[in-house]
């Protein structure tokens, strides 16, 4: 390669070099740049990329590389696409890329300065880094546990390579001795504490919400998730082959599992620069869009059901059945699972199936338009959605929200559009964006995306090239090669990061579900609404409970965050002096 030529991402690196000493630059897949900095420079580097150059925090991977180089490593992966706060605040397509900021943490001194103080979006990742690997983020505002249960032993960090003998498990703590999880509780006159969960009744998923209400109005909220952490990332390490990985990744989610499987397998493929046949790419896209069809219809239906409009819910579910039938046609199962393998696909589509599929798409489109029109004409339904659960644009920017959640707040942020993958370069489609910031806008985004999905599937069916669906290149896994893969799941951008190990096994797999980036902003969406809207707001975010909880107070102006302890708040509300929020 010619060093003189400007390569992708050089503009960012040159700007960074003015202030920060960059130790190393590498490009594993061409558009994924890794820059290594000293751990002391980490917060400033991430901040410059995030706020000054228009990056969004896509994932952060803490890794135990002691057997490779004697250190722990942190990878902050940023998607460089422009701040998007205004219409022209966006990078041109040729400059969009991934920049991963890498820092070594010596094994003898496992700590690093917290990025969260400068970039609030990192808060969840840094908490998880402590839970999983015992890496301490100095100055991280929230000291609570994230993933692991409250009675987990203090000195056991499961993602360390030497941490767990699998015939050894920490003893369960007696129920009476379980430590209490500290919910943030605002003090005040006549506040009711309404616990929602641990099993959320409308989502039927585990998540414990605390709503602090004055009468019917929610003053604040706190939540604890991760009740069903299954330790999948640990399970994958050194144990599973790549043929098994797809099946494991599918089990991350019951609805958008296909997107996870594809992202996981594509991360493995990208790390060794493996091209898959175009036909296989197109089939992967078709399956993902089918998943979006049934997931969005589920969500729109639930958004009606939660407000008591059972009639609309039932009719949307009737139409949803067509998408399940389509899935069965294309993938052989109602849930599109079990199809992705490294190098391509397992199952091809016949011309007969395509013809039947096109008919189904036509039926779905007509009926969907009819039902949506009826829902929109219903003033009582629209008034329940409008102005509810406002996601402030600055909050969305600070926390790197993804999916319909952020597109409903006027950000043109879609990973299919920012970082096109697979067959997407051959397909025409519009990114659905709405400006309302409320539930109404988010449901409109979903409806528009349904029509776009139908159009994408139709285009794939029509222009899909013939040929093989699996590559016969005999590529070998390169130990320690890593890459991230992105795709737009129904709920937003999924990021999977894979580092290969030796012996054709995974060394480190980091799976970041879309909702992981959406949870922290939920608290801001709750405030000022009524209990009647609580379930609706959670529903409009379309949560996947494979995520976590974190609560920080963020001042959107100074972009700094601070966590209030229980006693801080208590003291302040008793005396009303020395506001704990003054200095942030």
Partner 1 sequence: MTILFWMIFQVVMIALAAPLFDGIARVLRARLQSRKGPPDFFQTYRDIIKLYKRSRTAPRCAHWFFTYAPFFLYATGAAMLAAMPITYGGLESVGYADIFVLVYLAALLKFVFGVASIDSGNPFAAVGGSREQMIGVFVEPVLIISLLVVMLLAGTSNLVVIQQMVLNGEVGFFMPAYAVASISFLWAMYVESGRNPYDLAEAEQELQEGVLGEYSGSDFGIAQAALILKQFAMIGLFITIFQPWNFGLEHPFLALIVFLVKAGVFYVAAVFIDNFGARYKLLSGFKSNATAALSISVVALVLYIVGV
Q: Which residues contact partner 1 (rule: CB under 8 A)?
A: 192-195, 201-202, 213, 216, 304-311, 314-315, 318, 378, 380-381, 383-384, 530-535
The CB-of-327 to partner 1 minimum distance in angstroms stands at 21
What order of strands is seen across the sheet that includes strand 22-27?
Answer: 22-27, 32-37, 97-106, 71-80, 55-65
Q: Are 60 and 129 in contact (CB under 8 A)?
A: yes
Q: Are 321 and 297 in contact (CB under 8 A)?
A: no
C-alpha separations of 352 from 22, 201, 335, 355, 552 in Å: 56, 42, 21, 5, 54
Q: State how far the alpha carbon of 299 is from the alpha carbons of 39, 159, 294, 414, 540, in Å.
A: 42, 34, 9, 19, 7
Report, in Å, the least distance between residue 359 CB and partner 1.
20
494 in Cβ contact with 517 (< 8 Å): no
CB of 469 to partner 1, least distance (A): 38
Q: Least separation, in Å, of the C-beta of 181 and partner 1?
A: 18
- The smaller minimum CB distance to partner 1, of residues 393 and 527, is found at 527
**Which sign does the torsion angle of CA 192, 197, 203, 207 carry?**
positive
Nearer to partner 1, 540 or 561 (CB): 540
Smallest gap, in angstroms, from Cβ of residue 441 to partner 1? 17
Residue 453 Cβ vs partner 1, minimum distance, rounded to whole Å: 23
Closest separation between CB of residue 319 and partner 1, Å?
A: 10
C-alpha span between 125 and 310 (Å, rounded): 38
124 or 385: whose CB is closer to partner 1?
385
In 165-207, at which residue ranges do the beta strands (DSSP E only) sit?
Answer: 191-196, 199-200, 205-206
Give min distance, CB of 380 to partner 1, in A. 4
**Nearer CB in complex with partner 1: 194/274:** 194
Strand pairing report for 111-113 and 136-138: parallel
In the complex, the smallest distance separating the C-beta of residue 196 from partner 1, rounded to whole angstroms, is 8
Sign of CA dihedral 227, 120, 132, 231: positive
Cβ–Cβ under 8 Å, residues 305 and 313: yes
Q: Give the CA distances from residue 193 to residues 42, 220, 235, 380, 522, in Å, rounded to whole numbers and listed in that order.
A: 39, 10, 38, 29, 18
Nearest approach, Cβ of 539 to partner 1 (angstroms)?
9
DSSP type of residue 546? S
Strand partners, 211: 194, 221
Cα separation of 511 and 492, whole Å?
Answer: 14
**218 or 511: whose CB is closer to partner 1?**
218
Which of helix, strand or coil describes residue 37?
Answer: strand
Could you check whether the bond before residue 198 is cis, i.e. omega within 30 degrees of 0?
yes
Residue 496 carries which DSSP code?
Answer: E
CB 231 within 8 A of CB 164: no
* Cβ neighbour number for residue 83 with a 10 Å cutoff: 17
Name the minimum Å distance from CB 531 to partner 1. Answer: 6
Q: Which of 128/533 has CB closer to partner 1?
A: 533
- Residue 99 has what DSSP assignment? E
If the CB atoms of residues 250 and 533 are measured against partner 1, the closer one turns out to be 533
> By three-state DSSP, how is residue 199 classified?
strand
Least separation, in Å, of the C-beta of 358 and partner 1?
24
Which residues face 494 on adjacent strands?
Answer: 487
- Distance, CA of 581 to CA of 578 (rounded, Å): 8
Q: Which is nearer to partner 1, 124 or 444 (CB)?
A: 444
Instruction: Give the C-alpha separation, 177 to 572, whole Å.
Output: 31
- For residues 270 and 315, which CB has a smaller minimum distance to partner 1 in the complex? 315
Comparing CB distances to partner 1, the nearer of 395 and 534 is 534
Please tell me whether the peptide bond between 470 and the residue prior to it is cis, using omega within 30 degrees of 0. no
CB of 373 to partner 1, least distance (A): 14
Smallest distance, partner 1 to C-beta of residue 385, A = 8
Of residues 194 and 358, the one with the C-beta less far from partner 1: 194
Closer of 241 and 383 to partner 1 (Cβ): 383
State which residue, 279 or 384, has the beta carbon closest to partner 1. 384
DSSP 107: T
Minimum CB distance to partner 1 smaller for 371 or for 513 = 371
CB burial of 320-357 (b: ≥16 within 10 Å; e: otherwise) equals bebbbbbbebbbeeebbbbbbbbbbbeebbeeeebeeb
Interacting residues of 414 by C-beta distance below 8 A, sequence separation 6+ = 407, 431, 488
């Amino acid at each position: 390669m010619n060093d003189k030529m400007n390569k992708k991402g050089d503009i960012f690196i040159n700007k960074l070099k003015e202030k920060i000493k960059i130790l190393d630059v590498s490009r594993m897949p061409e558009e994924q740049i890794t820059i290594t900095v000293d751990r002391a420079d980490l917060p400033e580097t991430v901040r410059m990329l995030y706020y000054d150059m228009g990056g969004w925090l896509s994932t952060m991977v803490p890794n135990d590389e002691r057997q490779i180089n004697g250190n722990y490593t942190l990878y902050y992966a940023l998607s460089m696409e422009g701040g998007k706060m205004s219409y022209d605040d966006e990078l041109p397509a040729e400059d969009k890329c991934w920049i991963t900021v890498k820092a070594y943490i010596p094994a003898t001194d496992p700590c690093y300065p917290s990025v969260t103080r400068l970039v609030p979006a990192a808060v969840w990742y840094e908490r998880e880094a402590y839970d999983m690997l015992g890496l301490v983020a100095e100055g991280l505002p929230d000291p609570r546990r994230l993933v692991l249960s409250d009675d987990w032993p203090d000195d056991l960090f499961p993602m360390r390579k030497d941490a767990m003998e699998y015939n050894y498990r920490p003893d369960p703590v007696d129920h009476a001795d379980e430590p209490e999880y500290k919910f943030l509780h605002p003090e005040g006159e006549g506040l009711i504490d309404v616990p929602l969960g641990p099993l959320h009744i409308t989502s039927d998923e585990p998540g414990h919400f605390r709503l602090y209400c004055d009468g019917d109005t929610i003053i604040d909220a706190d939540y604890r998730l991760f009740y069903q952490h299954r330790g999948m990332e640990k399970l994958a390490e050194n144990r599973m082959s790549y043929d098994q990985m797809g099946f494991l990744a599918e089990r991350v989610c019951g609805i958008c599992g296909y997107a996870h499987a594809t992202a996981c397998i594509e991360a493995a493929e990208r790390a060794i620069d493996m091209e898959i046949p175009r036909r296989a790419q197109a089939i992967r896209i078709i399956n993902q869009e089918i998943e979006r069809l049934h997931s969005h219809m589920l969500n729109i239906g639930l958004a009606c059901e939660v407000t008591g409009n059972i009639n609309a819910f039932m009719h949307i579910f009737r139409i949803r059945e067509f998408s399940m039938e389509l899935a069965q046609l294309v993938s052989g199962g109602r849930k599109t699972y079990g199809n992705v393998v490294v190098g391509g696909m397992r199952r091809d589509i016949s011309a007969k199936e395509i013809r039947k599929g096109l008919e189904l798409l036509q039926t779905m489109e007509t009926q969907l338009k009819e039902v949506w029109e009826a829902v929109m004409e219903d003033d009582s339904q629209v008034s329940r959605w409008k102005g509810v659960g406002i996601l402030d644009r600055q909050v969305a920017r600070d926390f790197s929200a993804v999916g319909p959640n952020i597109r409903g707040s006027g950000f043109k942020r879609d990973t299919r559009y920012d970082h096109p993958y697979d067959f997407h370069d051959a397909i025409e489609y519009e990114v659905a964006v709405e400006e309302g910031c409320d539930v109404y806008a988010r449901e409109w985004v979903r409806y528009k995306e349904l029509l776009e999905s139908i159009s994408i599937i139709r285009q794939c069916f029509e222009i899909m090239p013939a040929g093989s669906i699996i590559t016969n290149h005999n590529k070998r896994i390169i130990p320690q090669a890593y890459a991230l893969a992105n795709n737009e799941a129904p709920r937003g951008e999924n990021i999977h990061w894979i580092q290969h190990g030796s012996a054709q096994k995974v060394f480190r797999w980091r799976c970041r579900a879309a909702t992981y980036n959406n949870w922290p902003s939920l608290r801001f969406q709750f405030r000022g609404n009524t209990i009647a809207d609580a379930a609706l707001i959670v529903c409009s975010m379309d949560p996947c409970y494979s995520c976590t909880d974190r609560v920080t107070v963020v001042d959107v102006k100074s972009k700094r965050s601070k966590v209030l302890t229980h006693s801080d708040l208590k003291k302040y509300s008793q005396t009303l002096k020395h506001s704990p929020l003054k200095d942030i």
